[in-house]
C-alpha cells in the first residue's frame, strides 16, 4: 500500500506493507515520519522512496539522497534500503537528456553505496528506456509497474507473470498493480513484492535505542551482492 498520512485505524485494514515517500519534488515529505511511526506501531513493514527533483533544484542525486537520509535519521529512523522513482511524473529531463539523467542516478547510487544501503528503482521498460537511453544497471532492485488505469478494479494480475527482462534486470522485487484505488476511504496505490527478497527481522520494528527501522526488501535470500551502478 502506498498512501499519504492516514489514521491508525485505516492502516490496520491493509495488513502487510506500506511505502512512505520521504522526498517528493525537492522537499522531504512532512507525512513520511508519521506514516513510518504509525506503520511500526501496528506491525506494518515499511519502504521509503524518493521522487527526485531534476534540473531545477540544482542538487545532484547524492545531495538529494543525503537530504532524505538525514531527514529520516534526525527522526530516529534507520534506513536499510531506499527506492528512487524513474517515471515521467518524476520530472526527469526529456528529451535528449539521457546522459544527464544517468549521471544523476549514478550520483544517487554512489552515495547509497557509501551509506551501505540496498537500492531499488521504480520504473517500467518503456519509461526506463526513454529516460536513460536504454542504460544497463547492475545490483539494483526493480519495482516495476503494470496497471490498467486509475479506476477501481483496474488492477493488473497480482503476480509477476507479465514481467519482461530489461536493462539488466532478470527478475523483479516488487510490482505496482493499481493506481489511485480507493481503500478504506483513502486513495492509494497497490503493490505486491517477492517474499524471498524481504528480510522481515529488521522491518517495521523499533530497536532498543528507540529507533525505527525501515527498508527490508533486497535484504532477504535474494540480496544483491555487489555495488549498485549504471553503465
The 10s digit of each residue's pLDDT in 73-91 is 999 999 999 999 999 877 7
| Cα atoms found within 13 Å of the Cα of residue 176, Cβ hemisphere only | 24
User: Beta-carbon neighbour count of residue 173 at 10 Å?
Assistant: 27
- Provide Rg for the chain, Cα atoms: 17
What was the pLDDT predicted at 16?
Answer: 46
Which range among 11-25, 70-84, 155-169 shows the weakest confidence by mean pLDDT? Answer: 11-25
In order of start, what are the domains of the chain with their CATH numbers? 8-230 (3.20.20.80)
What was the pLDDT predicted at 157?
Answer: 75
What was the pLDDT predicted at 176?
Answer: 86
Confidence band of 219 (pLDDT split at 50, 70, 90): low
pLDDT, tens digit, 9 for 90 and up, residues 92-141? 877 679 999 999 999 999 999 999 999 999 999 999 999 999 999 999 99
The answer on pLDDT for 45 being more than 50 is yes
The answer on pLDDT for 67 being more than 60 is yes
All 3 cell numbers of residue 226?
A: 555487489
Confidence band of 152 (pLDDT split at 50, 70, 90): low
| Mean pLDDT score across all residues of the chain | 77
CA–CA separation, 128 vs 4, rounded Å? Answer: 25
Q: Are strands 229-230 and 137-138 parallel, antiparallel or unpaired?
A: antiparallel
What are the DSSP calls for 193-227, one per residue? Answer: E-GGGB-TTSTTEE-TTS-EEE--BTSSTT---S-
Amino acid at each position: 500500500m502506498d498512501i499519504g498520512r492516514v489514521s491508525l485505524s485505516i492502516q490496520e485494514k491493509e495488513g502487510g506493507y506500506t511505502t512512505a515517500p520521504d522526498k517528493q519534488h525537492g522537499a522531504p515529505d512532512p507525512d513520511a515520519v508519521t506514516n513510518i511511526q504509525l506503520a511500526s506501531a501496528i506491525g506494518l513493514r515499511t519502504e521509503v522512496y524518493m521522487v527526485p527533483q531534476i534540473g531545477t533544484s540544482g542538487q545532484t542525486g547524492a545531495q538529494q539522497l543525503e537530504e532524505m537520509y538525514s531527514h529520516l535519521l534526525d527522526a530516529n529512523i534507520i534506513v536499510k534500503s531506499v527506492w528512487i522513482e524513474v517515471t515521467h511524473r518524476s520530472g526527469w529531463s526529456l528529451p535528449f537528456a539521457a546522459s544527464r539523467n544517468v549521471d544523476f542516478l549514478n550520483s544517487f547510487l554512489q552515495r547509497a553505496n557509501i551509506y551501505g544501503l540496498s537500492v531499488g528503482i521504480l520504473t517500467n521498460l518503456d519509461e526506463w528506456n526513454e529516460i536513460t537511453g536504454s542504460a544497463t544497471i547492475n545490483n539494483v532492485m526493480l519495482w516495476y509497474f503494470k496497471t490498467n488505469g486509475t479506476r477501481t478494479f483496474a488492477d493488473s494480475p497480482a503476480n509477476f507473470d507479465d514481467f519482461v527482462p530489461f536493462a539488466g534486470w532478470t527478475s523483479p522485487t516488487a510490482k505496482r498493480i493499481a493506481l489511485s484505488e480507493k481503500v478504506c476511504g483513502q486513495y492509494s496505490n497497490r503493490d505486491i513484492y517477492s517474499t524471498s527478497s524481504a528480510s522481515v527481522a529488521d522491518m517495521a520494528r523499533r530497536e532498543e535505542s528507540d529507533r525505527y527501522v525501515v527498508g527490508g526488501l533486497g535484504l532477504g535470500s535474494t540480496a544483491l551482492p555487489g555495488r549498485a551502478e549504471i553503465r
